[in-house]
Amino acid sequence: MAILYLAFSSRSKLWALPFAWIFFFTTSTCVTAQTNSLAETIATLIKNHQGKITIGVKNLTTGDSYYHQPDLVMPTASLIKLGVMVTAYNLADQSKIKLNDMVLLQKEDKVPGSGILTTNFTEGTSFPLKDAIRLMIAYSDNTATNLVLDQIGIRTVNTTLTQMGFINTRINAKVFKGSTTSVDPDQTKKYGLGSTTAKETIHLLESIYTNKAATETSCKAMIEHLKKVENKDMLPRELEGKIKSIAHKIGAVSDARTDAGILYFEGGPVAICVLTAENIDKRWTFENKAEILIGKIGLAVFDHFKTKK
């Protein structure tokens, strides 16, 4: 029998009460008093998932939250670029870097995978660092990510995130250059590009939303970058026409799919993070089961928190 930890709203004194609860899963789940029905809905959705899954949800207005395996460290794939962006803006606010400084695209910088720089831009092209950050988020551009990392440093990202309290949110190497740039080969072997937990990612999103991750100007700029993400295969897939907007970042490698962001709608906004790994379904299609599941979880969260008319 699973143990359910019931934590009451952040507006009241926080405490946890373990009690027996019959669910069709065998892992730790944490909910607030107002999200019991959401927990039941999500338990039904995830009980047959063939792979690991961790979930975090927090209503940024009411504080009501739901977590499933909140502290399990999981691979991020490209979701770690969220932490890279936060670090860049944090450094810019401290005048340690300048977002208007130009970066130069060279042949050796080009790497495969997602993005537009490698296939559409000529070697020798230069553009501001802030544009590289935009491409890293909106198109999940791998080449742009490495250009940003050249300016701020892999270790600096991890140090900054640790200082902010995100000790498990780490990037291990440049994209597609793990064998030559890894700062932690063991972590690279275990998690790939990066790692995080559902709880840390929710708190990171909340820190951006509340202007605590950087200055208010920088946090608003980061939200706008996240709203420009073009991929609609995961969290947004069942939300078209239902929400005002979504500010999110996805990640995908063969056996992992991740998506985390902020859903804006009446009854929200709501921060949500879904991390999956070791998935049996590794297909690169719109019918990938993990991507479908993440979409269903996004819809369940919307249905739970939406303002009833």
Give the pLDDT mean for 140-160: 98
Q: Given strand 29-31, what is the order of strands in its sheet?
A: 16-20, 3-7, 29-31, 65-68, 52-59, 270-277, 256-264, 245-253
DSSP tag of 228: T
From the number of C-beta atoms within 10 Å of its C-beta (0-12, 13-18, 19+), residue 214 rates as: buried
pLDDT at 10 over 80: no
Last residue of a domain, one of 169, 194, 219: 194
Q: Are residues 67 and 102 in the same domain?
A: no
Last residue of a domain, one of 194, 226, 246: 194
Q: Work out the mean pLDDT of the chain and round it to a whole number.
A: 91
The position carrying tokens 């069709």 is 24
Q: Are residues 230 and 84 in the same domain?
A: no
Cα–Cα distance measured from residue 107 to residue 124, given in angstroms and rounded to the nearest whole number: 8
Cα–Cα distance measured from residue 139 to residue 145, given in angstroms and rounded to the nearest whole number: 10
Q: What is the CATH number of the domain that holds 154?
A: 3.40.710.10
Cis omega before residue 75 (within 30°)?
no
Give the model's pLDDT for residue 308: 66
Count of domains observed in the chain: 2
Q: What is the pLDDT of residues 283-307, one digit of tens each?
A: 999 999 999 999 999 999 999 999 8
**Domain range enclosing 91:** 76-194
Q: Are residues 9 and 153 in the same domain?
A: no
Q: Are residues 84 and 29 in the same domain?
A: no
Q: Are residues 175 and 107 in the same domain?
A: yes
Q: What is the pLDDT of residues 186-202, one digit of tens each?
A: 999 999 999 999 999 99
| pTM of this structure | 0.90
pLDDT at 3 over 60: no
Q: Are residues 81 and 175 in the same domain?
A: yes
Q: Are residues 116 and 184 in the same domain?
A: yes
Give the model's pLDDT for residue 34: 66
Give the pLDDT mean for 265-280: 98
Q: What is the pLDDT of residues 112-145, one digit of tens each?
A: 999 999 999 999 999 999 999 999 999 999 999 9
Q: Which of 17-21, 48-52, 253-257 has the lowest mean pLDDT?
A: 17-21
pLDDT band at 32 (very low <50, low <70, confident <90, very high): low
pLDDT at 25 over 50: no
Three-class secondary structure of residue 47 per DSSP = coil
Give the pLDDT mean for 196-220: 98
pLDDT band at 94 (very low <50, low <70, confident <90, very high): very high
Cis omega before residue 269 (within 30°)?
yes
Q: Which of 31-40, 93-102, 248-257 has the lowest mean pLDDT?
A: 31-40
- pLDDT > 70 in the chain, percent: 89
148's tokens: 């940003």
DSSP tag of 77: G
Give the pLDDT mean for 7-16: 34
